[in-house]
Amino acid sequence: MDYTNYMADRVKTMKGSAIREMFKRMADPEIISLAGGNPASELFPGEELSKIAGKILMTNPTLALQYGTTDGYPKMKDCARARAEKVNSITENDEIIIMTGANQGIDLTAKALLNKGDKVIVESPSFIGSLNAFRTYECSLVGVRVDADGMNMDELEEKLKSEDGVKFIYTIPTFQNPTGCTMSLEKRKRMIELANKYDVLILEDNPYGDLRFSGEDVPTLKSMDTEGRVIYAGSFSKILSPGMRLGYIIAPAPLCEKIEVLKQVNDVHTPMLTQLMCVEFMKKYDIDKYIEKNRELYGKKCAAMVDAMEKYFPKGKVKWVVPEGGIFLWCECPTITDITPIVDKCLEKKVAIVPGSNFATDIFAPSNMFRLNYSSATIEKITEGIRRLGEVLTENL
Amino acid sequence: MDYTNYMADRVKTMKGSAIREMFKRMADPEIISLAGGNPASELFPGEELSKIAGKILMTNPTLALQYGTTDGYPKMKDCARARAEKVNSITENDEIIIMTGANQGIDLTAKALLNKGDKVIVESPSFIGSLNAFRTYECSLVGVRVDADGMNMDELEEKLKSEDGVKFIYTIPTFQNPTGCTMSLEKRKRMIELANKYDVLILEDNPYGDLRFSGEDVPTLKSMDTEGRVIYAGSFSKILSPGMRLGYIIAPAPLCEKIEVLKQVNDVHTPMLTQLMCVEFMKKYDIDKYIEKNRELYGKKCAAMVDAMEKYFPKGKVKWVVPEGGIFLWCECPTITDITPIVDKCLEKKVAIVPGSNFATDIFAPSNMFRLNYSSATIEKITEGIRRLGEVLTENL
């Protein structure tokens, strides 16, 4: 039976994330992966969470195992609120909805805003999970170049002027995925002005904001919002655990009301146990101290990766900007047009990287860039992975 | 700021489930709720799951806390497969995707199938969560009457003949929500024939199938599917815990591939800990014995409710069919046209029921029916709740 005729147009040409497809080729334990976006598992507070989960289920099984409310367990909403208040990213006009990971918040926000044919302005390159979520609502993605200090604002204004039907700008302003770049304060101010001037919303995705290991914090776009145009997506994936799938959306109440209805028909509510565990963890432990440990580790891992790149990469053939936080490092190979054959050779040499085309608005256009992750592998593996990658690059650039 | 202009058409007129809104009015602890759909919490295996969760996080924190795969943890997929095999509801052409509750499976299946303007045939009345999920894809719902032995097949054929653009039939054939009715074997055979004849798919939602306390099991539609037309949604909410949010979709591989992409951009994957807990629970304990305890309890609670209805309801003014399983009982008041004022008076008398209009394809049409739930309250509360309800009905019918 041919199922194509039964499928909605939105999925007919859709493919899964190539990164996740790549993982299937990576079952080989000898492969060093610099490809994923996994946080460091060596710091996961397994013992603490073990005690917390055991106690919750023993003392309050009904709360943990019965249905909960769609907008989230009230104390979990307080935890999200506390994280948002630290970066001045919630106002009295906003509501919070706990999400089963921030990605769900981004998906459902897009679902609440986008009609077929609407446009979304995105950084080019950007996070494939969000781009693919937007694509499922049959919108057009309008890419704007990312400079070392964030989205190019002149190009953004040009697009806002020339493109009809832009509903919102999607941005990861801090330690962007995949570039690792952070938008400067000046550019953030300008983006808010442009959103006001051209009457569009902003969806600010900030999963990495807590992971700064050098330089100075920059205020969130949400904290500078003057007209209630910024929707803020926060995550516990990179500061506690991605497998727990805990994130949140903060948005003006009338939008939250609609997003909540979409969550209700999507997964009814985020699992109760993981919410209760997060609440207890934040009550019993200082999560900022835990984040600080992660930050230090990522700073060391990033430095180790950069050291190895300087040592093993062919001189002058690869360009990169050293990130001040987050988990990604972005490389460009100006002497070639398509990195794909090199990525395949890397897999033969047992090191995995992600080709830049995955993050583009046009996934079929060739890219001479690739993304590296330094949070997941150990320092030894990072160094060895970069050595292998350097060998392939030296032979092929 | 007015956000209406930014909203997608699909949400502009959407409201949350009135049932969930009603819960907000039910903070009063003196109210006896016969309104929800909560399974009995008194049987939750809190102690067992406490030990299991504690051990998983202590011995394997990385597996429990790191990212997982979108289609589900492999051993959790085996657990879902085992449940489906018990009712012959998976074939070699099918794939499984673990969902964050079966509702997510229904939502994403609809997203994979429905273009704007497509039609879905549903039982009238039916489960509001699914109907609202379908509505978010801007389809039309075509209702078909539910008889005591399930969807009316003549009316179904009439609709299949007269309506263009029907993509699928959505049905809860066993212990239907809200009617509690079960589709007969003959009707199931006919539904499969009609789906084949009129070239439509069937989405079979079976969250209550394990909860039979009298009568004989009837095979699932999926088990009778001859052409690969049935998509099957299974759930652990009513047999283990709804707060864990664990369900699954079983569908032909080409459809599963698309649904998986939609899950990937929705919540990336179902939380790992709850999946691992379910796997361990099914490994260490006999889940069928646990289900058997629930079944017995629900049989007793249902009998207590029916006894109280016979005692306290005004004679000849309320019609109902006694269910053979599941958690709902459906009542009709033939002498009136609109139950709403009675539902409000019930709340004043501190008993909550759900008016039938919530389950209709046209939520604005008045209904003289209401839904009762007997799984959640204790037998004492059920009896007292029905006594209060009987008082209101006696005064107003």
How many angstroms separate the CA of residue B126 from the nearest CA in chain A?
14
From residue A360, give the alpha-carbon distance in Å to each of A110, A126, A130, A164, A243. Answer: 18, 7, 12, 21, 26
Closest-CA distance of chain A to residue B283, Å: 19
Give me the count of residues in chain B. 397
Which residues of chain B lie closer than 8 angstroms to A49, CB-CB? 57, 61, 65
- Chain B residues close to A3, C-beta within 8 Å: 252, 254-255
Report how far residue A202's alpha carbon sits from residue A146's, in angstroms, rounded to the nearest whole number. 16
**Residue A21 is inside which H or E element, if any?**
helix A18-25
Asked if B274's CB is within 8 angstroms of A273's CB, the reply is yes
Residue A29 is predicted with a pLDDT of 85
One digit per residue, the tens of pLDDT, for chain A of length 397 reads: 899 999 999 998 887 666 666 666 666 889 999 998 999 999 999 999 999 999 999 999 999 999 999 999 999 999 999 999 999 999 999 999 999 999 999 999 999 999 999 999 999 999 999 999 999 999 999 999 999 999 999 999 999 999 999 999 999 999 999 999 999 999 999 999 999 999 999 999 999 999 999 999 999 999 999 999 999 999 999 999 999 999 999 999 999 999 999 999 999 999 999 999 999 999 999 999 999 999 999 999 999 999 999 999 999 999 999 999 999 999 999 999 999 999 999 999 999 999 999 999 988 899 999 999 999 999 999 999 999 999 999 999 9
Buried residues in A83-112 as b, exposed as e (16+ CB within 10 A): bbeebebbeeebbbbbbbbbbbbbbbbbbb
Q: Which pLDDT value is given to residue B161?
A: 98
| pLDDT of A18 | 66
Nearest to A101 among B241, B243, B267 (CB): B267
Could you say which of A49, A104, A242 has the minimum Cβ distance to residue B66?
A: A242
The whole-angstrom separation of Cα A297 and Cα A40 is 8
Taking an 8 Å cut-off on Cβ atoms, the answer to whether A243 and B271 are in contact is yes
Q: What's the pLDDT score for residue B15?
A: 75
Number of Cβ within a 10 Å radius of residue A281: 21
CA B212 to chain centre: 15
- Pick the residue from chain A with its C-alpha nearest to B199: A6
> DSSP string covering A323-340, please?
-SBSSEEEEE-TT-S--H
- Please choose, from the candidates B16, B91, B31, B39, the residue with its C-alpha nearest in 3D space to the C-alpha of residue B237: B39
pLDDT of residue B29: 85
Interface touch B70/A242, C-beta < 8 Å? no
Mean pLDDT of B156-160: 98
Q: State the best of A1, A2, A3, A263 to mutate against chain B, taking most chain B CBs within 10 Å.
A: A3
Contact B271 A1 (CB under 8 A): no
Looking at residue A20, its pLDDT comes to: 62
The pTM of the whole model exceeds 0.90: yes
In this complex, do B132 and A261 lie within 8 Å of one another by their Cβ atoms?
yes
Q: How far apart are CA B134 and CA B103, in angstroms?
A: 11
Closest Cβ–Cβ partner in B114, B132, B243 for A8? B114
Average pLDDT (B48-65) is 98
Q: Identify the closest residue of chain A to B7 by CA–CA distance.
A: A113
What per-residue confidence (pLDDT) applies to B28? Answer: 81
**Candidates B113, B136, B269; nearest CB to A6:** B113
Task: State the Cα angle at B232 between A72 and B294, rounded to 5°.
Answer: 65
Question: Nearest Cβ partner of A16 from B4, B16, B260?
Answer: B260
Which of B67, B109, B134 should one mutate to test binding to chain A, selecting the residue with the greatest count of A CBs within 10 A?
A: B67
Tell me if A20 and B258 make a contact (CB, 8 A cut-off): no
- Comparing B48 with B362, the larger pLDDT belongs to B48
Residue among B69, B71, B102, B72 nearest B279 (CA): B72
User: Which residue of chain B has the CA closest to A93?
Assistant: B1
Residues of chain A in contact with residue B50, where contact means CB-CB under 8 angstroms, are: 53-58, 61
Q: Do A7 and B244 touch (CB under 8 A)?
A: no
CB contact under 8 A, A244 and B104: no
Binary contact (A44, B51; C-beta < 8 A): no
Q: Record the tokens describing residue B33, joined without a space.
A: 């709720």
Three-state secondary structure call for residue B166: strand
d(CA A84, CA B1): 22
Q: What is the pLDDT of residues B109-124, one digit of tens each?
A: 999 999 999 999 999 9
CB within 8 Å: A64 and B46: yes
In angstroms, rounded to a whole number, what is the distance separating the alpha carbons of residues B116 and A291?
45
Q: Which of A41, A167, A266 is best to mutate for the B interface (most B CBs within 10 A)?
A: A266
Nearest to B16 among A41, A167, A260 (CB): A260
Given a cut of 90, whether residue B320 has pLDDT beyond it is: yes
Selecting from A107, A114, A261 the residue whose C-beta is nearest the C-beta of B15 gives: A261
| pLDDT score, position A373 | 98
Burial of residue B321 (number of CB atoms within 10 Å: 0-12, 13-18, 19+)? middle
In this complex, the residue of B8, B103, B241 whose CB is nearest that of residue A268 is B103
Chain A, chain B: beta-carbon pairs less than 8 Å apart: 279
- In angstroms, the CA B72 to CA B74 distance is 6
- Pairwise CB contact (< 8 Å): A65 & B268: no
CA-atom Rg of chain A in angstroms = 21
The answer to whether residues B5 and A200 touch, using CB atoms and an 8 Å cutoff, is: no
Contact A101 B168 (CB under 8 A): no
Residue A13 burial class via C-beta count within 10 angstroms: exposed 0-12, middle 13-18, buried 19 and up: exposed
Residues of chain B with pLDDT > 70, as a percent, come to 97
Distance CA(B104)–CA(B262), nearest Å, equals 10
Contacts of B137 in chain A (CB under 8 A): 8
Site of tokens 């008045």: B366
**How far apart are the CA of B35 and the nearest CA of chain A, in angstroms?**
14
Task: Indicate yes or no: CB of B271 within 8 angstroms of CB of A272.
Answer: no
Are the Cβ atoms of A51 and B47 closer than 8 angstroms? Answer: no
Q: Answer whether B273 sits within 8 Å of A273, measured CB to CB.
A: yes
Contact B137/A8, CB-based, under 8 Å? yes
* Segment B178-237, tens digit of pLDDT: 999 999 999 999 999 999 999 999 999 999 999 999 999 999 999 999 999 999 999 999
Closest to B301 measured CA to CA, from B34, B83, B118, B76: B34
Q: What is the pLDDT of residue B339?
A: 96
pLDDT in the model for residue B363 = 81
Q: What is the pLDDT of residues A261-312, one digit of tens each?
A: 999 999 999 999 999 999 999 999 999 999 999 999 999 999 999 999 999 9
Among B245, B263, B294, the strongest candidate for a mutation testing the A interface, having the largest count of A CBs within 10 A, is: B245
Answer whether B101 sits within 8 Å of A64, measured CB to CB. no
CA A71/CA A100 separation, integer angstroms: 11
List, in sequence order, the alpha helices (H) in chain B.
9-12, 18-24, 46-59, 61-65, 74-86, 102-113, 128-135, 153-162, 185-198, 221-224, 253-264, 272-284, 287-312, 340-348, 379-396
| pLDDT higher than threshold 90 for residue B381 | yes
Closest chain A CA to residue B252: A3
Nearest to A103 among B3, B58, B265 (CB): B265
The three-state (H, E, C) secondary structure of A225-284, written as one string: CCCCCEEEEEECCCCCCCCCCCEEEEEEHHHHHHHHHHHHCCCCCCCHHHHHHHHHHHHH
Closest by alpha carbon to B327, among B295, B355, B304, B358? B295
Give tens-digit pLDDT for B63-87.
999 999 999 999 999 999 999 999 9
Distance to chain B for A271, nearest Cα, Å = 5
pLDDT of residue A13: 82
